[in-house]
Amino acid sequence: MEKVSLVFFLFLSSAFFAQNKSELLDKAQEAYANKDFEDALFYYQKLDSLSGRKGNYAEELAQTLYRLKKFNEARNAYSDKKTNTSDADIDYNVGNTFYNEGKFQDAINAYRDALRKNPNDAEARHNLSMAMRKNRNEQKKPKDKEEKNNDEKIDQNQSNNKDQQKKEVKKEQNQLDSKSKRQDGSQGKEKPVPQETSQELSNKDIEKRKVDKMLENLAIEEMKTKSKVNNAKGKSRRISKPW
């Protein structure tokens, strides 16, 4: 009698848990359909607490976690569903979780696994192309950053060189100015050429005219003297007559 009671109790308990699991699964699926992903996750987690392991709702749970951007947990849930090695959709979904986390090389590997199992999966091929492009860009970034830093260093060096040249030119100019000032202090400034006033110029012109007049008078006197001498010679000279 006790054994019968125990079996009956276990039967009732099993039925009770089965009913609760069914109700929880219905609520989880309904919440997911209504895009209430937080509520859906709550019910799926309750199902886990009852069963102790994920049932056939593992993919639904993974999708819910994916919608909530809990990508690492979603991958774990997908892995629980991954019982068949030919399931390309699981690899595709795992690739999506890696892609959304920016782990593009891991996403590439997952998409390739999906395509090996289903070469006709156009979405996996498209996502693989996108992941490869993103991965190339990510690998290029450090190089671009390094080149940018090098360009900035070159510009900075050029700017520093220009500043240094300006300082040297200014220093040289200051030295020349300082030397010029020292020469002015020790030897004195050169005396400026005196500028003649208008009065002084007028007096000089008068003096020049006087000298010119005197020379002119001397020349006239000299000519007169020569003329007298020549006249005197002409009178004393004999003039021969022709026969």
| Candidate ranges 98-112, 134-148, 173-187; pick with highest mean pLDDT | 98-112
118 φψ region: left (φ > 0), alpha (ψ -120 to 50), beta (else) = beta
Asked whether residue 34 is assigned to any structural domain, the reply reads yes
Q: What is the DSSP string of 119-137?
A: TT-HHHHHHHHHHHHHHHH
Burial class (CB in 10 A: 0-12, 13-18, 19+), 99: buried
From 151, 166, 181, the end of a domain falls on: 166
User: How far separated are the first and last CA of the chain, in Å rounded?
Assistant: 211
User: Quick check: 239 pLDDT over 50?
Assistant: no
Whether 75 and 93 map to the same domain: the answer is no
For residues 88 and 162, state if they share a domain: yes
- Pick 16 or 37 by higher pLDDT: 37
Number of domains in the chain: 2
Out of 166, 201, 218, pick the residue that ends a domain.
Answer: 166
Question: How is 27-70 classified by DSSP, letter by letter?
Answer: HHHHHHHTT-HHHHHHHHHHHHHHHSS--TTHHHHHHHHHHTT-
Q: How far apart are CA 172 and CA 152, in angstroms?
A: 30
Q: Distance (Å, rounded) from C-alpha 66 to C-alpha 73?
A: 8
The pLDDT tens digits of the residues spanning 161-193 come to 777 777 777 777 777 666 666 555 544 444 444
Residue 224 lies in a domain: no
CATH code of the domain containing 105: 1.25.40.10
- Could you tell me if 76 and 94 lie in one domain? no
Hey, is 190 helix, strand or coil? coil
Give the C-alpha separation, 215 to 50, whole Å: 146
The answer to whether 124 touches 118, Cβ cutoff 8 Å, is yes
Q: Which of 81, 109, 140 is the last residue of a domain?
A: 81
Is 203 a member of any domain? no
Is residue 60 a part of any domain in this protein? yes
Residue 91 lies in a domain: yes
Is 119 a domain residue? Answer: yes
pTM of the prediction? 0.51
d(CA 160, CA 172): 18
Output the pLDDT for position 7.
Answer: 41
Mean pLDDT of 10-17: 45
28 and 89 housed in the same domain:
no
Containing structural domain, residue 99: 84-166
Q: Is residue 180 part of a domain?
A: no
- Do residues 54 and 61 make contact, with C-beta atoms less than 8 angstroms apart? yes
Is the same domain home to 65 and 92? no
User: Going by C-beta distance under 8 Å and a sequence separation of 6 or more, which residues neighbour residue 89?
Assistant: 114
Kindly state whether residues 71 and 37 are assigned to the same domain.
yes
